[in-house]
Amino acid sequence: MTELLTIRGLTRDFGGFRAVDGVDLDVAQGAIHSVIGPNGAGKSTLFSLITGERRPTAGTVRFDGRDLTGLAPHAVTRAGLAKAFQTTSIFPRLTVGESVCAALAARNAQLRLLRSRTKAGIRAEAETICGALGLAEHIHRAGSALSHGDQRALEVALALATAPRLLLLDEPTAGMSPFETKRVVDQITGLARERGLTVLFSEHDLDTVFSISDEVTVMHQGRVLAHGPAAEVRANDEVMAVYLGS
Ligand code: ADP
Ligand code: MG
């Protein structure tokens, strides 16, 4: 199996507090890999170290053989890694279609593809991405007018517009109803399988995690407590004890 993302000894201190403590993590090409763990385990901090939003205190992040450790977020995006942000990073006054077109145009400009792409081409690509995330019927609505679940789907659409090879999703279903959760998770996994996209996913609902993941890494107090195929991690008593104890 080819590893797309290789993390070694990744560590991050906040003052005297070690939020991420010597994490090793391998994400295989094409895998859906979940990071789980109780609140405060260090999942979001770990993701921010991978995307370059925060700098690690120690350790390395390698992506497709390249050392990305300490690079700025735009350089990490350019290397083929995208994260859907929990914050409302959508453009509230643009319509769904305009937002995705803006993200596609930005990507094309960055990759200097501008001359080879027509406006109609960009619009068609935006329609494909919106359709894949169940947003087709909302394409002419303002981002701010969408339901919470549809706004989260739009955030994923904007991340997808950068044509990543690795998509990072930090609790993309936070605040969603079970129905919306299932819809968004099904769409993301369907899309990932279809496009051969690798996904690093953090999610609090364990049933969802175990049903969609190839590999699961469990964090607790900044460290990796367990990792392996989903079925193996699910059967690990120590993992369940951490959840029941939190
Ligand atoms: P998770 O996403 O698993 O819930 P986080 O990565 O958000 O965990 O947080 C891990 C720990 O690091 C928590 O104890 C949190 O309070 C702490 N932490 C996160 N960000 C900061 C920060 N900017 N300053 C100080 N402590 C932080
Ligand atoms: Mg978090």
Listed residues 134, 163, 192: the one ending a domain: 163
Give the residue with greater pLDDT, 166 vs 203: 166
* Strands 58-63 and 3-14, bridge-based pairing: antiparallel
Q: Give the number of the atom of ligand 1 that is nearest the alpha carbon of residue 202.
A: 2
Distance between CA 138 and CA 132 in Å, rounded? Answer: 12
Listed residues 108, 128, 163: the one ending a domain: 163
Selection from 176, 236, 225, 222 nearest residue 203 by Cα: 176
Residue 40 confidence (pLDDT) above 70: yes
Ligand nearest to the CA of 42: 1
- How many angstroms does the Cα of residue 112 sit away from the middle of ligand 1? 37
Which tokens belong to 101?
A: 């077109």
Mean of pLDDT over the chain = 89
Q: Are 49 and 98 in the same domain?
A: no
Distance between CA 85 and CA 69 in Å, rounded? Answer: 20
Q: In the structure, what pLDDT confidence band is assigned to residue 173 with cuts at 50, 70 and 90?
A: confident
- How many angstroms does the Cα of residue 34 sit away from the middle of ligand 2? 13
User: In this predicted structure, which of 110-114, 116-120, 239-243 has the lowest mean pLDDT?
Assistant: 110-114
Q: Are 173 and 75 in the same domain?
A: yes
DSSP codes, 137-196:
GGTTSBGGGS-HHHHHHHHHHHHHTT--SEEEEESTTTT--HHHHHHHHHHHHHHHHHHT
How many domains does the structure of the chain reveal?
A: 2
Q: Are 11 and 107 in the same domain?
A: no
Which tokens belong to 230?
A: 């989903």
In which domain, by residue range, is 214 found?
A: 1-80+165-246
Give the residue with greater pLDDT, 31 vs 184: 31
Residue 243 confidence (pLDDT) above 90: no
Whole-complex ipTM: 0.99
- How many angstroms does the Cα of residue 87 sit away from the middle of ligand 1? 16
Which tokens belong to 7?
A: 């993390």
Strand order in the sheet with 32-36: 81-84, 166-170, 198-202, 32-36, 215-220, 223-229
Query: What is the share, in percent, of the chain residues with pLDDT greater than 70?
Result: 93
Which residue has the least CA distance to atom 7 on ligand 1? Answer: 44
Listed residues 163, 179, 201: the one ending a domain: 163
Which tokens belong to 226?
A: 């367990």
pLDDT value of residue 117: 64
Distance between CA 142 and CA 29 in Å, rounded? Answer: 35
Q: Are 234 and 130 in the same domain?
A: no
Query: What is the share, in percent, of the chain residues with pLDDT greater than 90?
Result: 52
The dihedral of CA 77, 83, 87, 92: what is its sign?
A: positive
136 phi, psi to nearest 5 deg: -55, -40
Q: Are 215 and 245 in the same domain?
A: yes
CA 223 to chain centroid:
20
User: In this predicted structure, which of 48-57, 61-70, 128-137, 148-157 has the lowest mean pLDDT?
Assistant: 148-157
Residues with CB under 5 A from ligand 2 (ion): 43-44
Q: Are 137 and 185 in the same domain?
A: no
Q: Are 227 and 156 in the same domain?
A: no
Q: Are 15 and 76 in the same domain?
A: yes
Contacts of 125 (CB under 8 A, 6+ apart): 104, 161
Buried/exposed 212-227: b ≥16 CB within 10 Å, e otherwise: bbbbbbbbbebbbbbb
